[in-house]
Amino acid sequence: MVADKTVLVTGAAGFVGSHVVDVLLESGYRVRCTVRATSNRRWLEGKPVEPVEADMQGGGLEEAVAGIDAVVHCAGVTRGSRRALYAVNRDGTRALVDACVETGRRIRFVYCSSQAAGGPSSLWRPRVLEEPPQPASDYGRSKLAGEVEVHKRGDRLQVVVLRPAAVYGPRDEDTLPYFRLAARGIVVVPGLFTRLVQLVHARDAARALLLAMERPEAVGRTYFVAHPEVITWRELAATIAAAVGRRALRLYLPAALMQAVGAAAQLVGGGRRAGQLDLRRAWELTRRAWTCRVRETVEELRWMPEYDSERGLRATADWYREEGWL
């Protein structure tokens, strides 16, 4: 029975991790959460979870993994120097999987990686799992390095890797500035030519992580996680404008200009807070396509996303308004 199983969620106080906690609790699991002394625990307040102070540098991990049946590893960093990214996304992941191995139990270990680890696609075909990864940033390379560390322990743990596409939804601070700009009547479209993207709502991503933890056929596998819908950036901008109830002016920024803005922001210390542009985000936003094949995810995990872009972005805008963020 799931009520007898304890699942450790790392990064539980964060955006994706907090949605994973909600889905696990709704499914009847006991949930243990790693938190740091400095963590903002607002999304965990009032929930029947067991918090354990630990970090991905090794402190407290032995206590965190004691007696658990599974891990959903959502902790990670998206900004910072190359050294900082690798310290958490690769080395921290290594420390966690090694702590799991030391228990002597064949724990199910689900790693929440990123589409960035696979890299951008072409306009003509989505990225597929069979082709070699080509990450386009230090962030993507650090997440891919984390995947390698996880798969190395596949003989001692039941490992699964998921690569979510651009995740959005309630509690997301990265996408919030775009909604706020749209509410003022402006939406930014990166580049002058067609660019394609796939999205995934946070609840759908959390459900995929849950299924990866439960399905026996998932062991040893890697999956892309995205709504099958492929949209252009122009369509995305129009959908966000409609979600906030505005007819917004589209501002097309040439790729070179957006990258220059991102580089300048990084030089003066920008890009450190959620939603701020930095060189990595500018570079990734200006790739021609971020699409991926999700057939394996749908068929093997029996996963079907509930939120297409129109429904999901509207629900996100509604949540922002209810919380006074918009």
**236 domain residue, yes or no:** no
290: left (phi over 0), alpha (psi -120 to 50) or beta: beta
Nearest to 9 by CA among 110, 157, 101: 110
What is the mean predicted confidence (pLDDT) over 188-195? Answer: 84
The CA angle 245-251-255, to the nearest 5 degrees, is 135
CB neighbour list of residue 186: distance below 8 Å, 6 or more residues apart = 248, 249, 251
Better-scored residue on pLDDT, 314 or 265: 314
pLDDT band at 93 (very low <50, low <70, confident <90, very high): very high
| Number of structural domains the chain divides into | 1
Asked if residue 49 has pLDDT above 80, the reply is: yes
**317 domain residue, yes or no:** no
**323 domain residue, yes or no:** no
Average per-residue pLDDT for the chain: 91
Main-chain phi, psi angles of 70, to 5 degrees: -155, 160
Nearest to 72 by CA among 119, 36, 107: 107
How far is the C-alpha of 216 from the C-alpha of 206, rounded, in Å?
18
pLDDT band at 20 (very low <50, low <70, confident <90, very high): very high
- What is the sign of the dihedral through the CA atoms of 263, 265, 271 and 277? negative
In this prediction, residue 274 carries a pLDDT of 57
Nearest to 178 by CA among 165, 188, 168: 188
**77 domain residue, yes or no:** yes
Among 43-47, 272-276, 300-304, the range scoring the smallest mean pLDDT is 272-276
**16 domain residue, yes or no:** yes
The residue ranges of DSSP E strands in the chain, in sequence order, are 6-10, 30-35, 49-53, 70-73, 108-112, 158-164, 166-168, 186-190, 196-197, 199-201, 222-225, 231-232, 249-253, 289-290
**93 domain residue, yes or no:** yes
The CA angle 235-240-243, to the nearest 5 degrees, is 125
CB neighbour list of residue 115: distance below 8 Å, 6 or more residues apart = 127, 163, 164, 165, 166, 224, 226, 290, 292
Nearest to 223 by CA among 110, 74, 89: 110
pLDDT band at 283 (very low <50, low <70, confident <90, very high): low
Percent of the chain with pLDDT over 70: 92
| pLDDT, tens digit, 9 for 90 and up, residues 197-225 | 999 999 999 999 999 999 999 999 999 99
Provide the domain limits for residue 54.
2-168+199-226+292-306
**49 domain residue, yes or no:** yes
272: left (phi over 0), alpha (psi -120 to 50) or beta: alpha
C-beta of residue 95 within 8 angstroms of C-beta of residue 144: no
What is the mean predicted confidence (pLDDT) over 89-106? Answer: 96
Most confident residue range from 37-46, 54-63, 216-225: 216-225
| pLDDT, tens digit, 9 for 90 and up, residues 149-177 | 999 999 999 999 999 999 999 999 999 99
CATH number at residue 82: 3.40.50.720
Other CB atoms within a 10 A radius of the CB of residue 155 amount to: 10
* pTM (2 d.p.): 0.93
Asked if residue 275 has pLDDT above 70, the reply is: no
Q: Residue 131 corresponds to which amino acid? A: E
Asked if residue 261 has pLDDT above 70, the reply is: no
Better-scored residue on pLDDT, 142 or 38: 142
In this prediction, residue 142 carries a pLDDT of 97
Asked if residue 53 has pLDDT above 70, the reply is: yes
C-beta of residue 170 within 8 angstroms of C-beta of residue 22: no
* Residue that the structure tokens 């009547």 belong to: 185
Asked if residue 318 has pLDDT above 80, the reply is: yes
How far is the C-alpha of 138 from the C-alpha of 146, rounded, in Å?
12
In this prediction, residue 37 carries a pLDDT of 80
pLDDT band at 251 (very low <50, low <70, confident <90, very high): confident
In this prediction, residue 162 carries a pLDDT of 98
Nearest to 82 by CA among 136, 141, 163, 14: 141
**241 domain residue, yes or no:** no
In this prediction, residue 193 carries a pLDDT of 82
Both tokens assigned to 82: 């190359």
In this prediction, residue 266 carries a pLDDT of 61
